[in-house]
Structure 1
Amino acid sequence: MEPMPRFCGPAEEFAHASHRTRAVERWQHGREVHALDQVAEEVPVAMVYNGISHAVMLATPAGLEAFGLGFSLAEGILKHKRELYDTEIVQRRDGIELHMTIAQERFVELKSRRRNLAGRTGCGLCGTESLQQVMRPTAPVESGLSLHPHAVHAALAGLPGYQSLQALTGAAHAAAWVSPAGVILHCEEDIGRHNALDKLIGTLAHHDADIRDGFVIVTSRASYEMVQKCATRGIAVLIAVSAPTSFAIDLAQQSGMTLAGFARGGSHVVYTHSHRLIEPQEKQ
């Protein structure tokens, strides 16, 4: 697979809408210094389907078309990208609306779910009305992917070079799509870890990427909804730089996903389906 174009990359390609310059007073080396600081943008983004507002997430206002598509797929609102007919980005005084026109069958299902999210940074299940909505069934992940641990840590070592917003502001998470050889093919950033993953999923769908031939790294903990988003799309391996939760481990085990956490400094911990992360045996 060839590297995908656009979105998150080296600093010179960075989208300036993602941050803003602010005057600050910095206490440094025992004295006050007047300086300029780069601050990540955070705006309400409403997901509007066929004229009906369904969810409002606080997000970084970049990669919004990918965000809308990825959110729709990861939340099970759409089953395929072709069920999204059109996306219009509407700037309002108090935020942004993503007006998405979707297939009528999917819209009828959406209305029947009666789901109304009130998303906050780092919040993935806010506003869910029932336990059944949380425990959304996912098909078993099917993948013959096999990774060498060195590929995982090569990608982790290269990831900071793709985190332009994080380098400028220190306030962004990233989700990266990586080849089995450890090459970062695409990366998305957002103030919210769920949002970054949604944007990545949307971009992969837009480019018809083969999700059986790669894995995801996230610069956050691996919570239930992060595993659920990956499992919904059939992604077989999720690597997190921080810890997973017990709920996430249970879902990964049930879904057939490989879940690893604490991936940093040349080490990681595999919690489920370790057969995909294989360390070749040294010759005796």
Structure 2
Amino acid sequence: MRRSAYGAVPEAEEAFAIPIETPVAIETNGIAYAVMMATPTDLEDFVTGFLMAEGLAEAAEVGDVALHQVEGGDWGGGHVARVNLPVERLGPILERARRRVGDSSCGICGIEGVEAALRPLPALRRQSAASSAAIGHALEALRKRQPLGTRTRATHAAAFCHEDGSVQVVREDVGRHNALDKLVGALARRGLDPAIGFIVMTSRCSYELVEKTVRAGCPLLVTISAPTDLAVRRSKAAGLSLAVVARDDSMLWVC
């Protein structure tokens, strides 16, 4: 690639990586449920977090995730992720499978209606004790924990941090929703309780991120960009603390 300075300065060759975006088909008990466009890393975590965020399973109910690569000709391939859930979970899956199609830009593709999109959120059981200083420490530490983002400049990161600001787990993806699903899945698979820390996202604060954070049981969400009005209202209703426009020198406490 060539970098141009929009002026008389000669263009210069510059090399950097381009992130992979590929379809990931999720099958539960042999039933095709969703196809998501995602970065094909940490897919076991992604599938686990996705199923939890959809309300289809608790962490302990998600069995082993079997991954299968599928060739796709000139456009490259994809992945099929197969997982078995308890039989009592199949009712909602069968009902919604026909209507569910996803991608990396939308967190609610295929939802049946407004009521389903705005279904009530559970109330969080505790408040975060993280200080502004701890959040600043986490933001600084996270910059060094994004290898994919450093190479591509095109991915989002989701990080789980202890209340002292120490970064524990980081996941990356081309989609911010996918990155958060990967993080929640990683915490579940490691047996880490989201309630004892906070989540940092390198993205704007959309209401889908609020919903995923609340359903994971985490009491504080920090984002580097601004929130939407619905994200703020949903955060307040669920008791989620929200810190936004979190930069080097300051941030905004919304609720």
Same fold per superposition (TM over 0.5): yes
Structure 2: any 5+ residue segments left out of the alignment?
Answer: 73-77
Identity %: 36
Match of 1:237 among 204, 213, 220: 220
Structure 1 residue 108: Cα displacement:
1.7
Structure 1 counterpart of 2:220, one-letter code: V
Structure 1 counterpart of 2:10, one-letter code: R
Structure 2 counterpart of 1:72, one-letter code: L
Q: Which SS does the other structure have where 1:263 is aligned?
A: coil
Which residue pairs with 2:90 in the alignment?
A: 107
Q: Which SS does the other structure have where 1:91 is aligned?
A: strand
The CA distance in 2 between the partners of 1:127 and 1:85, in whole Å, is 25
Residue 171 (1) aligns with residue 149 (2): no
Residue 96 (1) aligns with residue 79 (2): yes
The CA distance in 1 between the partners of 2:18 and 2:228, in whole Å, is 30
Which residue pairs with 1:223 in the alignment?
A: 206
Structure 1 residue 145: Cα displacement:
2.7
The CA RMSD over aligned residues, in Å, is 1.6
Structure 1 residue 231: Cα displacement:
0.8
Structure 1: any 5+ residue segments left out of the alignment?
Answer: 1-23, 273-284
More strand by share: 1
Count of equivalent residues: 248
Offset from partner CA, 1:168-216 (integer Å, 9 cap, x none):
0000100000011110011111000000000000000011112221000
The CA distance in 2 between the partners of 1:255 and 1:193, in whole Å, is 21
1:255-266 counterparts in 2 under 5 A?
255-266=238-249
The CA distance in 2 between the partners of 1:85 and 1:166, in whole Å, is 30
The CA distance in 1 between the partners of 2:249 and 2:13, in whole Å, is 39
Residue 148 (1) aligns with residue 137 (2): no
Which residue pairs with 1:73 in the alignment?
A: 52
Which residue pairs with 1:139 in the alignment?
A: 122
The CA distance in 2 between the partners of 1:115 and 1:234, in whole Å, is 29
More helix by share: 2
Task: Please tell me whether the aligned partners of residues 85 and 103 of structure 1 are also in contact (alpha carbons under 8 angstroms).
Answer: no
Structure 1 counterpart of 2:203, one-letter code: S
Moved more, 100-109 or 164-173: 100-109
Which residue pairs with 1:275 in the alignment?
A: none
The CA distance in 1 between the partners of 2:182 and 2:59, in whole Å, is 13
Structure 1 residue 144: Cα displacement:
4.0
Residue 246 (1) aligns with residue 224 (2): no
Which residue pairs with 1:53 in the alignment?
A: 32
1:28-67 counterparts in 2 under 5 A?
30-34=9-13, 36-67=15-46
Which residue pairs with 1:20 in the alignment?
A: none
* Closer/same/farther in 2, CA of residues 152 and 86 from structure 1, 3 Å limit: same
After TM superposition, the score normalised by the length of structure 2 is: 0.92
Residue 86 (1) aligns with residue 85 (2): no
Offset from partner CA, 1:36-76 (integer Å, 9 cap, x none):
43110110111111112111111110000000000011111
The CA distance in 1 between the partners of 2:233 and 2:4, in whole Å, is 45
Task: Please tell me whether the aligned partners of residues 115 and 129 of structure 1 are also in contact (alpha carbons under 8 angstroms).
Answer: no
Task: Please tell me whether the aligned partners of residues 86 and 102 of structure 1 are also in contact (alpha carbons under 8 angstroms).
Answer: no
Q: Which SS does the other structure have where 2:63 is aligned?
A: strand
Structure 1 residue 30: Cα displacement:
3.5
Q: Which SS does the other structure have where 1:40 is aligned?
A: coil
Moved more, 176-185 or 87-96: 87-96
Structure 1 residue 25: Cα displacement:
4.2
Q: Which SS does the other structure have where 1:121 is aligned?
A: coil
Structure 1 residue 32: Cα displacement:
4.5
The CA distance in 2 between the partners of 1:178 and 1:115, in whole Å, is 37
Q: Which SS does the other structure have where 1:181 is aligned?
A: coil
Structure 1 residue 106: Cα displacement:
1.1
Moved more, 81-90 or 117-126: 117-126
